[in-house]
Amino acid sequence: MPSNSFTRRSFTATALSALGLAMLPAPVLALSEAGARKLVDTVVAEINRVIASGKSEAAMIRDFEGIFAHYADVPTIARYALGVDARRASNAQLGAFTKVFQGYISKKYGKRFREFIGGKIEVKTARPIKAGYEIRTTAYLSGEAPFEVIFLVSDKSGRDRFFNMFIEGVSLLQTERTEIGAMLDRRKGNIDQLIADLAKVG
Give every strand in the sheet of 161-167, ordered side by side: 120-128, 133-140, 147-154, 161-167, 170-171
| Of the candidates 98, 102, 95, the residue with the CA atom closest to the CA atom of residue 65 | 102
Nearer to another protein, 31 or 131 (CB): 131
* Shortest spacing between CB 197 and another protein, in angstroms: 9
Q: Could you tell me if 100 and 92 are in contact, meaning their C-beta atoms sit under 8 angstroms apart?
A: no
Q: Could you tell me if 192 and 93 are in contact, meaning their C-beta atoms sit under 8 angstroms apart?
A: yes
152 near another protein, judged by CB under 8 A: yes
Q: Could you tell me which stretch among 35-43, 57-65, 98-106, 107-115 binds another protein (CB under 8 A)?
A: 107-115
The rounded distance, in Å, linking the Cα atoms of 185 and 202 is 20
The rounded distance, in Å, linking the Cα atoms of 133 and 76 is 16
Binder among 72, 166, 191, 195 for another protein (CB under 8 A): 166
- String of contacts with another protein for each residue 129-148, x by CB under 8 A: xxx--x-x------x-x--x
Nearer to another protein, 46 or 124 (CB): 124
80 near another protein, judged by CB under 8 A: yes
Q: Could you tell me which stretch among 31-39, 45-53, 61-69, 175-183 binds another protein (CB under 8 A)?
A: 175-183
Nearer to another protein, 30 or 84 (CB): 84
5 near another protein, judged by CB under 8 A: yes
- Cα–Cα distances (Å) from 154 to 29, 62, 162, in that order, read 7, 25, 6
Query: What amino acid occupies position 107?
Result: K
12 near another protein, judged by CB under 8 A: yes
**Helix/strand/coil for 122:** strand
The rounded distance, in Å, linking the Cα atoms of 36 and 24 is 8
Return the residues of window 16-75 that contact another protein according to CB under 8 A: none
User: How far does CA 68 lie from the centroid of its chain?
Assistant: 7
* Residues at the contact surface with another protein, assessed by CB under 8 A: 1-8, 10-12, 14-15, 76-77, 79-80, 84, 86, 108, 111-112, 129-131, 134, 136, 143, 145, 148, 150, 152, 154, 156, 163-164, 166, 168-171, 173-175, 177-179, 181-183, 185-186
